[in-house]
Amino acid sequence: MPGRDPQRTAQATAMGPQRATTPRLVRKGFTGPALIGSDGILYGLQVSTPPKPDTYRVSALAPDGHLRWTAWASRPGWRVGDLGAPLVLAPDDTVYFAGGGCRISSTQMRDSIGTAGCLSAVGAGGHLRWHAVMFGLTKAMPQPLVRPDGSLVRATVGPGGAPSPAILNVTVYAPNGIPLRLGTNCSWAATALGAADRLYAVTYFRAPINGNCLAYGARAGHPGSSVVAFSTGGRPLWVAHLPMAPLPEDCSPWALTVDAQRGQIYAAAACNVHGRRAYSYVYALDTKGRPLWMKDTASAAWPALALDRASGDLWLATIGGVQRLSSTGVLRWQITWHTTAIPDSRETLILDGQGTTYTCSGDGLLRAVSPTGHVLWHYQFRVPRYGYMSPPSAVIGPDGALYVSSDSEPGIVAFAP
């Protein structure tokens, strides 16, 4: 799932490639981020050439590229997938994806902003388990997660911070597909799971939308955001209102990571400050919502986070480089680089079991950074003419192979460990 696990640690268990190798093509015809199971099976969104609205399929691949199964993922006129995160994998290998063949009533179409869509769950062999109707607008990079009991948590947000209270919420889908909404009238930017299945979510809140997220927003009619903790049953436990000094008011939360073992929550946001360019910030809270520390990253990119489960250290990737921070916010090291990516480029970041970082942004350059902050190797992907919808993203297999998918080169390639 996005961030690899429900805590969003973005850390694999195996050690990834430590030296440059020529990538091996696994299979053509795939786009967007891929998923990998504990058994090494890859899952991705397969497209036709040229793409057609009714020819998207979710497929399972063996590491050698052999096709295991496919499932129909779209129909004409329906939005296919959620950009940046079309698939999510449950512990029992059930695959959830946006798309499929829901029967949408005229009432559901009328209540939806945009085009109502479908959320599907398929099990082993690609057999359908259930469908559920989604009511339109979702953010550019939704971050669904699956809890240990197999229920799916999905947060949604409207474009430009203009949500509709009828459709935008945190929704928990039970293993049989029955939905339960947790916070209506909110734009939710990210979620992560903590100890005892406690769910943490961060809202996206921008003025002058009065009445937006009154229960959890910083202040009605003013920009800001909040981190909210929910119990296993969906009851709000506490709300940490932001901004907190010296975090600026106009901040768009982006990433959320939880250290369940040490009881700390980390969030990253892109903030606008009057009189200066936008900057990214990372801040820490305890599990009662109390602020612990905050750092200014001096970078305008949408940041990415990764957590080392053994040491508790936090990795932060922006367009300008990578930082490694201790659990108390102390900078252990920082590596910077120059890039041709646009200033507000999004980042992808994963961490292997030994602390090697693999990161990529809008310049299409995949970099491997050692646990001590040295670039081990890099590989340049071709950048599309009009830029990436999302930069190349990677997953690490149980054997240490690094699998990367990219919008510019539809397909999945593998770097040997």
Percent of the chain with pLDDT over 90: 34
**Spatial contact of 308 and 12, defined as CB atoms under 8 Å apart:** no
Closest CA to 240 of 299, 279, 284: 284
Residue 200 pLDDT > 60:
yes
Cis omega (within 30 of 0) for bond into 50: yes
Residue 221 pLDDT > 70:
no
Question: What are the tens digits of pLDDT across the range 370-405?
Answer: 999 999 999 998 877 766 666 788 999 999 999 998
Confidence of residue 113 (pLDDT cuts 50, 70, 90): low
Using CA atoms, how far residue 50 sits from 54, 166, 353, 410, in Å, is 12, 36, 38, 11
Least confident of 21-30, 184-193, 358-367: 184-193
Cβ atoms < 10 Å from Cβ of 63:
17
What are the tokens at 77? 């006129």
Compute the distance between CA of residue 287 and CA of residue 189 in angstroms, rounded to an integer: 19
The strand pair at 276-286 and 291-296 is best described as: antiparallel
Residue 285 pLDDT > 90:
yes
Residue 357 pLDDT > 90:
yes
Q: Identify the top-confidence range among 49-58, 142-151, 403-412.
A: 142-151
Q: Identify the top-confidence range among 7-21, 64-78, 140-154.
A: 7-21
Edge-to-edge, what's the strand order for the sheet holding 304-307?
A: 304-307, 314-318, 321-325, 331-336
List the beta bridge partners of residue 125: none
Compute the distance between CA of residue 16 and CA of residue 394 in angstroms, rounded to an integer: 11
The strand pair at 393-396 and 152-155 is best described as: unpaired
Alpha-carbon Rg of the chain, whole angstroms? 20
Q: Which letter does DSSP use for residue 108 in this model?
A: H
Cβ atoms < 10 Å from Cβ of 81:
22
Residue 124 pLDDT > 90:
no
Average pLDDT, the chain: 80
Residue 137's pLDDT is what?
Answer: 53
Compute the distance between CA of residue 122 and CA of residue 310 in angstroms, rounded to an integer: 34
**Spatial contact of 287 and 263, defined as CB atoms under 8 Å apart:** yes
Counted residue by residue, the chain has a size of: 417
Q: Where are the beta strands (DSSP E) in 83-127?
A: 87-89, 95-98, 117-122
Residue 155 pLDDT > 50:
yes
Which domains are delineated in the chain?
24-40+161-415 (2.130.10.10)
With 0-12 CB in 10 A as exposed, 13-18 as middle and 19+ as buried, what is 196? exposed
Question: What are the tens digits of pLDDT across the range 293-302?
Answer: 988 776 666 7
What are the tokens at 49? 């050439």
What are the tokens at 348? 């992808």
Compute the distance between CA of residue 19 and CA of residue 177 in angstroms, rounded to an integer: 44
Residues 6+ apart with CB under 8 A from 146: 1, 6, 88, 89, 90, 91, 96, 152, 153
Q: What's the maximum distance between 2 C-alpha atoms anywhere in the chain?
A: 57
Residues 6+ apart with CB under 8 A from 132: 102, 118, 119, 120, 173, 177, 179
Question: What are the tens digits of pLDDT across the range 48-79?
Answer: 665 555 567 889 999 999 999 998 877 544 44
Segment 133-141 shows an average pLDDT of: 58
Segment 266-274 shows an average pLDDT of: 76
What are the tokens at 370? 């050692």
Compute the distance between CA of residue 293 and CA of residue 291 in angstroms, rounded to an integer: 6
